[in-house]
A = this chain, B = another copy of it.
Amino acid sequence: MNLRIPGPIPVPTDILEDMSKPMINHRGPEYKDLLLSTTDRLKRVFETEGDVWIITGSGTAAMEAAVVNTLSPGDKVVNATIGVFGNRFTDIAEAFGADVITLDFPFGEVIDLDVLRKCLNDNPDVKAVTVTHNETSTGVTNDLQSIAEVVKGEFDKLILVDGISSVASIPMSADAWGLDVVATASQKGWMLPPGFAFMSFNERAWAAHAESRMPKFYLDVAQYKKYYEIGQPPYTPAVSIMFALDNALDQLLSEGMGSVFERHAAVGQFTRNGIKSLGLQLFPRDERYASNTVTAVTIPDGVDATALVGKLRTDHDVIVSGGQASLAGQIFRIGHMGRTTESDIQDTLDAIENVLPKVGFNG
């Protein structure tokens, strides 16, 4: 099977094998060594000297953790969203009682800095801005560094980032860019099965935590911090993924994150070139902000999206994703994170070329 969805991604065989290691005591010395050493290496990938927490849960759990650990009911929050996952920050923050101003930009576009700037000017009582680095639903990467310069540099607000499909694949520097909380998940560029979320949490986030009155227990970072001090997780973690994380971090860091980012950029460009050469259009309005982890492609007129995705699976064993929410039937998406190669993508492109004429394409 050629799994080309934007997560879970194909996990390299040697990392998959680590998932079958026998259980250990999560409160014993072996796990302590793993916890401390993987946390140190996660900090290198996040480029932070702040904390990084390993949470057993999905990326959504970490997005919720970002919100509930820093905010209080009634806090005014600006959620700048460019897609389905961006919208999730509004849903989470509202579920916990925040007063959310949703700045939604058209799907396929990036955040407009002037619109964000005007909103923050008009609302001086905003406490935090939530933002998606790489929007998995539209294949668009925001210019997070510039966004942070506005949010932090110009307005001095908390910034909470969904970096689920960017961290470890696309450059992101938590400390240098002044990002207070960045959430990500194991089934993306980390080359791991799903089940772990990772979240950076800096001093400013801790100051917000001290005032935060949103209720929390399982996701309360105070428990993570308390137990980390004795080399333990607060609750029983997904031990198998810890074994795999240990290996994956070694691979990422021995290759060097610069090289990892370059590989993702090259495979992203290769995918976009291939899609265009098939006569298809990229969904992002401007290729300059097309994502290097997931390529979203507009379904051409006359083509049945369900038939396209279905035939790729049944005839070629190639698994791509359709569009989500209002994008269902409008786009399909190809993931290219982790060790995905240009050869992998060529196979996918060949399958798409074969299937297109059978599902109504006459481009």
Interface residues of A (CB under 8 A from B): 1, 3, 5, 7-11, 16-17, 19-28, 56-61, 64, 91-92, 95-97, 185, 187, 193-195, 214-220, 234-241, 313, 319, 321
Give the 3 A-B CB pairs with smallest separation, nearest first: A195-B238, A58-B235, A8-B23
From A7, A21, A238, name the one whose CB has the most chain B CB atoms within 10 angstroms.
Answer: A238
Closest to A97 in B: B215
**Are B236 and A59 within 8 A (Cβ)?**
yes
**Are B16 and A60 within 8 A (Cβ)?**
no
A–B pairs, 7, beta carbons within 8 Å: A8-B24, A8-B25, A11-B22, A56-B56, A58-B218, A193-B239, A194-B238
Cα–Cα, bound, A224→B257 (Å): 36
**Are A238 and B235 within 8 A (Cβ)?**
no
Residues of B within 8 A of A215 (CB): 95-97, 214-215
Closest to A62 in B: B218
Q: Apart from A11-B23, A16-B20, A91-B217, what 6 extra A-B contacts exist at CB < 8 Å? A: A3-B22, A3-B25, A56-B58, A57-B218, A193-B238, A194-B237
**Are B10 and A60 within 8 A (Cβ)?**
no
Cα–Cα, bound, A178→B241 (Å): 36
Closest to A310 in B: B29
Cα–Cα, bound, A88→B244 (Å): 30
Q: Which of B1, B8, B234, B313 contacts A239 (CB 8 A)?
A: B8
Q: Which of B28, B219, B235, B321 contacts A59 (CB 8 A)?
A: B235
Residues of B within 8 A of A3 (CB): 22-25
Residues of B within 8 A of A59 (CB): 235-236
**Are B194 and A239 within 8 A (Cβ)?**
yes
Residues of B within 8 A of A56 (CB): 56-58, 61, 194-195
Q: Which of B187, B236, B241 contacts A236 (CB 8 A)?
A: B187
Cα–Cα, bound, A13→B220 (Å): 35
**Are B193 and A240 within 8 A (Cβ)?**
yes
From A5, A92, A195, name the one whose CB has the most chain B CB atoms within 10 angstroms.
Answer: A195
**Are A16 and B22 within 8 A (Cβ)?**
yes
Q: How far is the CB of A337 from chain B (nearest CB, A)?
A: 12
**Are B7 and A236 within 8 A (Cβ)?**
yes
Residues of B within 8 A of A217 (CB): 60, 64, 91-92, 95-96
Cα–Cα, bound, A68→B228 (Å): 26
Cα–Cα, bound, A185→B235 (Å): 11
Residues of B within 8 A of A24 (CB): 1, 3, 8, 319
Q: How far is the CB of A224 from chain B (nearest CB, A)?
A: 12
Closest to A319 in B: B25
**Are B25 and A10 within 8 A (Cβ)?**
no
Cα–Cα, bound, A215→B67 (Å): 12
